């Protein structure tokens, strides 16, 4: 997920005294940017024109969302473990309330744009586009935070990016109570859930269940969130083991950077590797990527040192608004493409303007949204005791 998590509570218990992780916001922004440019090229390709959608760099949307899931699992688990260590419990109602005021306003604003405003503008501007679903067919799935099912039944649409928000909402629903009531060895429970989810993925790949169930199982990418949670648990282990892990941190960093380079610039690398050993399930590619993303997040969090570029104020701010960038980007690039396409510009000029305007207006809209829409609602985060 793209929401930024900060915590003001300082306690002394190994790594749990950490209050803020440097570089995470910058990484969150770069992941959002990969989703944006990937969808931009896919949109051009779907219109039948020339595009870069076949280049690996522009096919990293799935990997970027996987990174969001791992990072979200890491941060949420870490913060809940800190709370449990300090207070001996987890305030589940408070946890839910904080998720609501951070995620729901933008989620339901996008629903209003997609379900109410979009049909109005299509009619007024006589645009050659037909919304593939109706209110009656889609509203219940959106309200239940299962927007991915809309894509399964009706294909691509303007609100398609909301599927990952639905995945995280369902994860949060179980994660708060789990950390409140499980025994101390949380990592064992997470491992159990991880293998259970991988088993379900395997049966879904064999089409054991009805098609929509197979789709939902694979869509609910809890395995990436679980992996993030496992790496968060390492911040609460004994000092001796921490010292042993710190000795191999440099190796972990190098492996993580190399793996991320292969993921971004040769997206089919792990697929090809798996095919060589006879494995055709592409979900394993994302599972492997989740592990390497987890290693990268863990190694950055372990060092937790500020850098001049990644932690510069403008990069930190871009990370803060990355949730809005993710949520608004498809709306913006669709409008930009609708304006540029009739101009019949040369491919190079069209590409430059398309991405420049798409990125600029998306960032601008996300900044306005954060200042004038999201922040006023976020003030309610700690106002009420729930």
pLDDT over 90 percentage in the chain: 54
Tens digit of each residue's pLDDT (9 = 90 or more) over 222-234: 999 999 999 998 8
Give the count of domains, the chain. Answer: 1
Read off the tokens for 380: 């309610």
Tens digit of each residue's pLDDT (9 = 90 or more) over 210-221: 999 999 999 999
Task: For residue 17, tell me if it sits in a domain.
Answer: no
Tens digit of each residue's pLDDT (9 = 90 or more) over 110-129: 999 988 898 888 888 777 77
Res 4: pLDDT: 45
Task: For residue 266, tell me if it sits in a domain.
Answer: yes
Res 65: pLDDT: 94
For residue 12, what pLDDT band results from cuts at 50, 70 and 90?
very low
Task: For residue 354, tell me if it sits in a domain.
Answer: yes
Q: Contacts for 121-125 with beta carbons within 8 Å, 24 or more apart?
A: none
Residue of 123, 133, 126 whose CA lies nearest to 158: 133
CA dist., res. 292 & res. 58, Å (int): 20
CA dist., res. 160 & res. 50, Å (int): 23
Task: For residue 210, tell me if it sits in a domain.
Answer: yes
Task: For residue 19, tell me if it sits in a domain.
Answer: no
- Average model confidence (pLDDT) for the chain? 86
| Domain extent for 60 | 24-378
CA dist., res. 171 & res. 229, Å (int): 11
Tens digit of each residue's pLDDT (9 = 90 or more) over 248-288: 767 777 777 787 777 777 666 666 666 666 666 677 888 88
CA angle at 234 for the pair 233 and 238, rounded to the nearest 5°: 110
Please state the rounded mean pLDDT for residues 312-335. 95
The residue assigned the tokens 């496992």 is 230
Task: For residue 1, tell me if it sits in a domain.
Answer: no
Residue of 111, 45, 60 whose CA lies nearest to 337: 45
Task: For residue 14, tell me if it sits in a domain.
Answer: no
Do 1 and 33 touch, CB atoms closer than 8 A?
no
Tens digit of each residue's pLDDT (9 = 90 or more) over 338-355: 899 889 899 999 999 999
Res 175: pLDDT: 96
CA dist., res. 70 & res. 286, Å (int): 11
Task: For residue 13, tell me if it sits in a domain.
Answer: no
């Amino acid at each position: 997920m793209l929401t930024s998590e900060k915590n003001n509570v300082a306690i002394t218990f190994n790594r749990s005294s950490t209050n803020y992780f440097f570089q995470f916001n910058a990484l969150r922004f770069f992941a959002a940017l990969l989703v944006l440019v990937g969808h931009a090229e896919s949109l051009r390709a779907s219109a039948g024109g020339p595009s870069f959608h076949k280049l690996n760099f522009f096919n990293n949307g799935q990997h970027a969302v996987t990174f969001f899931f791992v990072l979200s699992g890491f941060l949420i688990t870490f913060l809940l473990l800190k709370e449990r260590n300090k207070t001996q419990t987890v305030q589940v109602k408070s946890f839910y309330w904080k998720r609501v005021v951070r995620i729901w306003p933008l989620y339901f604003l996008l629903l209003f744009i997609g379900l109410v405003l979009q049909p109005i503008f299509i009619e007024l501007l006589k645009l050659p586009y037909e919304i593939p679903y109706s209110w009656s067919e889609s509203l219940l799935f959106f309200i239940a935070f299962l927007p991915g099912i809309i894509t399964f039944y009706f294909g691509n649409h303007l609100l398609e990016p909301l599927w990952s928000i639905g995945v995280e909402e369902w994860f949060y629903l179980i994660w708060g109570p789990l950390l409140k009531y499980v025994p101390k060895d949380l990592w064992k429970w997470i491992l159990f859930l991880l293998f259970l989810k991988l088993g379900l993925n395997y049966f879904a790949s064999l089409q054991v269940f009805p098609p929509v169930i197979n789709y939902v199982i694979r869509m609910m990418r809890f395995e990436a969130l679980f992996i993030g949670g496992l790496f968060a648990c390492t911040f609460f282990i004994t000092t001796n083991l921490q010292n042993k892990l710190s000795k191999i941190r440099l190796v972990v960093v190098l492996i993580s950077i190399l793996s991320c380079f292969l993921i971004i610039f040769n997206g089919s690398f792990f697929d090809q590797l798996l095919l060589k050993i006879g494995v055709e399930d592409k979900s394993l590619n994302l599972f492997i990527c989740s592990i390497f993303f987890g290693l990268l997040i863990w190694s950055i969090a372990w060092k937790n040192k500020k850098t001049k570029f990644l932690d510069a104020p403008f990069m930190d701010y871009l990370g803060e608004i990355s949730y809005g960038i993710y949520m608004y980007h498809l709306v913006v690039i669709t409008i930009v493409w609708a304006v540029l396409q009739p101009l019949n510009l040369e491919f190079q000029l069209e590409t430059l303007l398309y991405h420049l305007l798409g990125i600029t207006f998306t960032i601008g809209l996300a900044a306005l949204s954060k200042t004038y829409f999201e922040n006023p609602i976020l003030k309610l985060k700690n106002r009420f005791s729930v």
